[in-house]
Amino acid sequence: MYLGTPGQIADERITLSHGAGGRASHDLVEGIFLRELRNPMLEPLGDSALLAAGRRQLAFTTDSCVVRPLFFPGGDIGELAVNGTINDLAMSGARPVALSAAFIVEEGLPVADLKRVAASIACASLRAGVPIATGDTKVVERGKADGLFINTSGVGCVEPGVVLDPTAVRPGDRVIVSGPIGDHGMAVMAAREEVKLDADIRSDTAPLHFLVAKLLRATAGVRCLRDPTRGGLATVLSELARGAEVGITINEPAIPIRPAVVTACDALGVDPLYVANEGRLIAIVSPDATGTALVALRAHALGREAAVIGEVTAASPGQVRLGGGSSEPRVVDMVAGESLSRIC
């Protein structure tokens, strides 16, 4: 359980909570990395940094994938690494141009596993139309890693006129989610040996840049985009509410979620709102653009089940309130504790 002061690291040693994507992760980033490395590109802590290159604006992002196990229903570490970085670029409104892939391999990894991952990366790269431009391979001794870690960084071009920024969010804006939540996290949990689930749940890992391009072409009313990965829907909405200094009210029954995911979450005592997604986005859109945005999203295979799930409010700035269901209304916060570690 996390008990620190925001922005301060109370612990003497790094714990799994620091990697869970919630409050402890934020405190680590703000208390150590931002404090030391502060600069105008880094400070927004967005999915990508924005750089000026001549008259073009570039997006630049990095992500290490440490998912366990390496292969799970619906995907593997390679596909996840490619899609994850493409999505970080897409959430900034950038067209992905190229990715890097850097492998840290544990001595003893079967060469067949590495070949399978490389083939999966190739397939994901081809599907997305984004080449792997550069790479690196390091090998560490047996027992000094866990099979394979992959870092993918990415460069994209921000289309002229596109500005996606949490500070543009206004009361009255609607919250849209592009599809059912919780599939990725529960697929990975189910693939772990220690967990036995009957349900057939597959990761939702997918590249979202085509869906985003369709959405941004359809309407100029998109305020900002986020992919609810580590920490899940609740954590990302909490970050948005804090960042934009607004309240967010969510109509819980409107959140799309598959019955199998609900069952699996119940069985494991996990709240699906905190479970990672790898092929979903949250869009905050102006009220008048909501209909157009929904139509655009639903016209794409990856947004077929898009739904309006809530609204931005002037009241309760920084808070995300859930209501509309059979249970009492409640306030949700960023994920605390270890949650599901090594889910991406």
Q: Which of residues 116-145 bind a copy of itself (CB under 8 A)?
A: 118-119, 121-122, 125, 131-141, 143-145
Residues 296 to 315 in contact with a copy of itself, rule: CB under 8 A: none
**Tokens 């440490």 correspond to what residue?**
66
Which residue from 44, 22, 24 is spatially nearest to 34, judged by alpha carbons? 44
**Cross-strand partners of 320:** 248, 332
- Do 61 and 107 form a contact (C-beta atoms < 8 A)? no
Should residue 248 be labelled a site residue for a copy of itself when binding is judged by CB under 8 A? Answer: no
Is residue 336 within the footprint of a copy of itself (CB under 8 A)? no
Can you tell me whether residue 42 is helix, strand or coil?
coil
Interface pick for a copy of itself out of 4, 7, 15, 300 (rule CB under 8 A): 15
| 1 lines the binding site for a copy of itself (CB under 8 A) | no
Smallest gap from residue 326 Cβ to a copy of itself (A): 37
Site string for a copy of itself, 75-104 (x = CB under 8 A): ----------------------xx-xxxxx
Instruction: Tell me the pairing of strands 94-106 and 132-140.
Output: parallel
Using CB under 8 A as the binding rule, whether residue 168 contacts a copy of itself is answered as: no
Backbone angles phi, psi at 148, to 5 degrees: -160, 130
Considering only residues 18 to 77 of the shown chain, the ones binding a copy of itself according to CB under 8 A are: 18-20, 25, 28-29, 32-33, 35-37, 39, 41-42, 48-49, 51, 53-56, 58, 60-64, 66
> Binding of a copy of itself at residue 3 (CB under 8 A)?
no
Stretch touching a copy of itself by CB under 8 A, among 152-160, 173-181, 239-247, 314-322: 152-160
Across 66-99, b (16+ Cβ under 10 Å) vs e yields bbeebebebbbbbbbbbbbbbbbbbbbbbbbeeb
Residues 206-235 that bind a copy of itself (CB under 8 A): none
* CA 66, 70, 76, 79 torsion-angle sign: positive
